[in-house]
Amino acid sequence: MDVLKDRRQLRRQATIEEILAAAVKLMARDGVAGMSLSGVARAVGMKPPSLYEYFPSKMALYDALFAQGSAELAAAVRAAGYSTGTDPLTALLAGARAYVGWLVRHPVSAQLLVWRPVPGFEPSPQAFAPSVDLMAETRALLVLAVERGRLLPAAATDDAVLLFTSVIAGVVSQQLANEPLGGAESGRYTRLMDPAMAMWLAQYTP
């Protein structure tokens, strides 16, 4: 019985992943807010009532997409060396580059994560948790940089964190809004990531 249960769970998870992938394709074509459950159902060969067994509402599907995107984004940032076990400034810069690069390569997810294109949608605490954890890691790196004398104490304040995230999100938004097909490194705006971070560092460097 456990084997049958595991198989059902695997099939269900595979179907969910297929639905999420189809939703991303439709959002790329029709706009993030233009996605419809009936369109997603048709894309995966389902009737709409069958889709409700996996996602009871359009907002539930958006929430799953947000959760998937935020988790993948956080993983990409950590894979770049975002850790207090390394030099904090090196980690911050590497993480910022990875953050921008992932979002530019995943423009549909970027709109859902960085902008608010769907009226009335707010991610659930569970879907937002990877973003919260990543922000906590950012604060830990800033505190470590201050403790080591690499940055001024003001760098660990709420305002400094807001400015840090605004610089990064601003680069992403400008790139996607003005040159969506530009590369993560050679784009008109993404290539300015390092100078933008240098400006932030100059504000808080002793």
pLDDT, tens only, 148-190? 999 999 999 999 999 999 999 999 999 999 998 888 888 999 9
Asked if residues 193 and 96 have their Cβ atoms less than 8 Å apart, the reply is: yes
Taking residues 114-130, what's their average pLDDT? 94
Same domain flag for 49 and 126: no
Q: Where are the alpha helices (DSSP H) in the chain?
A: 2-30, 37-43, 48-51, 58-79, 88-105, 107-114, 125-147, 158-178, 193-204
Same domain flag for 122 and 26: no
Provide the residue range defining the domain that includes 4.
Answer: 1-56
Same domain flag for 74 and 119: yes
Question: Is 96 a residue whose pLDDT tops 70?
Answer: yes
DSSP state of 183: -
Same domain flag for 6 and 67: no
- 3-class SS letters over 68-120: HHHHHHHHHHHHCCCCCCCCHHHHHHHHHHHHHHHHHHCHHHHHHHHCCCCCC
Q: Which of 6-10, 13-17, 119-123 has the lowest mean pLDDT?
A: 6-10
CA distance 202 to 200: 5
